[in-house]
Amino acid sequence: MSAEEFEPNIVAFLCNWCSYAGADLAGTSRTQYLPNVKIIRVMCSGRVNPLFLVNALQQGADGVLISGCHPGDCHYMEGNYYARRRYTLMHKLLEHVGVDPGRVNMSWVSASEGAKFKDVVEDTVTKAKEAGPMEQFRRRRINW
Amino acid sequence: MVDESKLREKAAEVLAREDVRRLIGWKRGTYGFEAAPCVIKDASEAEALIFDPTCVQNPASFITLEEKKPVPRGQEADTRKIAVMVKGCDSRAIVQQLVEKAYDRDHVIVLGIPCLGVIDRRKAAALFGDVASQVSAKVDAEKVAVDVGGDVKTVDRKDILMDKCLRCRYPNPLVYDELLADEVEKWAGDEFADVGEFEGQSPEEKWAFWEEQFSKCIRCYSCRNVCPMCYCVECVVTKLQPQWTRRATDISENTVYHIQRAWHLAGRCIECMECQRVCPVDIPIMTLNRKLTRDVKEMFEYEPGVDVEAQPLLASYNPQDPEDFIM
């Protein structure tokens, strides 16, 4: 498969209060954003267990995006601060294991930033395309 | 060095107390370069206790192993204390367990032992081969004198001591009720040179290294069982619902297991190196842990197992935390 043909699978964990509304705004305002991204709505970016991310990479995602409210704007006051600590570290750990750093992405998108959501998705897809298909620890079906 | 007769005397004195249930320490192993951890309940058994550079095990791992069974109606729970002997690095495990409120400070009596380093059995095997007799050793600031069945040989520190000892920052216990010997002087610093060196590689080189290492893993979970910080009653890797990682030993599940294990020690690992010591297939597990330790120190200025009053790293935050990777 050549680099041009490769369409990465992106799993996006969006927080209900900001980023999901931001993605919704991008939709209602007819902004075209790339269809590679599969959105999973969570109540807060702090709800995303780091193992979600590892399991997504294991089960077929080529890139992961976690998006939440801007620092200080969390609906639950501090959820995104915890998430920020976690994913900064998780990003470093995965990088150390040899996962391309472009596969793990995080962003702050508020409910009014439909245009920013489009940019974030484009950026994530570009990085995942550069990294190529995720083959390192993809779970393979056993062929008996 | 510790005077062993004083150590036994002190242990017997502590065990004789009404409010002490048991004592965790070390006794001479049956063979080879490692002592055996032991749990004693009676002051008369204190004669078996030793401390020398063969005492590598971390006794703090055993404190949380005790099963807390429900107490039948009409009976009182046993609230007697546990006495534990610790080296400098082991005491950090106790500090971190206290930070996480695994137990109360007055649940344990900590007998601290300043330590000059312990023997790495892999390095020792390279020097002495397989040894079937009992080994004792003495260490000072320059040399290690190893006594293999009566035959004494002096070895350079760096040839036989564990890597963690060569870069030890806390040779003296950080928390103790009693110190069994005089404090020793710190001899090294830690620049995390090994982490920096590994980081210089490209993602492909890193993965090639880890693919080989992780594919060796037989998932015996020794690294988890021996870890003083892995004391969850129900561990995420053995949980079936939801099943985060399958039990197959293929590269995918092994990688996820090791990422999980390292992740769960982020900001908690106290670098006692027990995980790497017990690994039956010699996976350099500490490479992952040390990477996180270094990053936690650099990014959040946090060091686990040093301050009893500290907040657990991932259960606290600072609005000024770095966020350079966030778009």
- Contact at 8 Å (CB) between A6 and A129? yes
Radius of gyration of chain A, Cα coordinates, nearest whole angstrom: 15
Closest residue on chain A to B202 (Cα) = A98
For the beta sheet containing A37-42, the strands, ordered from the edge strand earlier in sequence to the opposite edge, are: A37-42, A10-15, A63-68, A104-108
Strand, coil or helix: what is A124? helix
Query: What is the C-alpha separation between B33 and B147, in angstroms, rounded?
Result: 10
Residues 280-319 of B with CB under 8 A from A: 287-288, 291-292, 295-296, 299-300, 313-315, 317-319
Name residue B16's amino acid: A
Radius of gyration of chain B (CA): 21
Question: How many CB pairs lie under 8 A apart between chains A and B?
Answer: 113
pLDDT attached to residue B153: 92
Write the pLDDT tens digit of every residue in A40-96.
999 999 999 999 999 999 998 999 999 999 999 999 999 999 999 999 999 999 999
Say whether residue A19 is in contact with chain B using an 8 A CB cutoff. Answer: no
B198 CB near a chain A CB, below 8 Å? yes
Question: What Cα–Cα distance (Å) separates residue B291 from each residue in A1, A34, A96, B7, B214?
Answer: 35, 35, 8, 37, 17
Chain B residues with CB inside 8 Å of A97's CB?
206-207, 210, 255, 258-259, 288
Average pLDDT of the residues of chain B? 92
Per-residue pLDDT of A110-126, as tens digits, reads: 999 999 999 999 999 99
Q: Which two tokens stand for residue B3?
A: 């005077």
Asked if B244 reaches chain A (Cβ–Cβ under 8 Å), the answer is yes
pLDDT value for B68? 79
Token pair of B42, please?
């009676």
> B203 vs A91: CB contact, 8 Å cut-off?
no
Residue entry with tokens 């120190």 = B297
Which residues of chain B register pLDDT less than 50? none
Question: What is the fold of A10-131?
Answer: Rossmann fold (3.40.50)
Confidence check: pLDDT of A3 > 60:
no
Confidence class of residue A1 from pLDDT cuts 50, 70 and 90?
low
pLDDT at A143: 66
Q: CA B11, B57, B154 angle in degrees (round to 5)?
A: 95
DSSP conformational letter for A77: S
Tokens 């395309």: give the residue: A129
A58 Cβ under 8 Å from any chain B Cβ: yes
Tell me how far apart the alpha carbons of residues A22 and A40 are, in angstroms, rounded to a whole number: 13
> What is the Cα–Cα distance from B20 to B17, expressed in whole angstroms?
6
Residue B12: other Cβ atoms inside 10 A: 18
Q: How confident is the model at residue A144 (pLDDT cuts 50, 70, 90)?
A: low
- C-alpha–C-alpha distance, residues B135 and B122, integer Å: 14
| Beta carbons within 8 Å of B161's beta carbon, 6+ residues apart | B53, B117, B118, B119, B120, B123, B139, B144
Q: What's the ipTM?
A: 0.92
Sheet containing B36-40: which strands, arranged edge to edge?
A: B36-40, B20-27, B81-86, B108-112, B178-179
Model confidence at A14: pLDDT above 70: yes
Q: What residues 118-137 of chain B have any CB closer than 8 A to a CB of chain A?
A: none
Q: pTM value?
A: 0.93
Put simply, the answer to whether A71 touches B319 (Cβ < 8 Å) is yes
- Interchain contact B267–A (C-beta under 8 A): yes
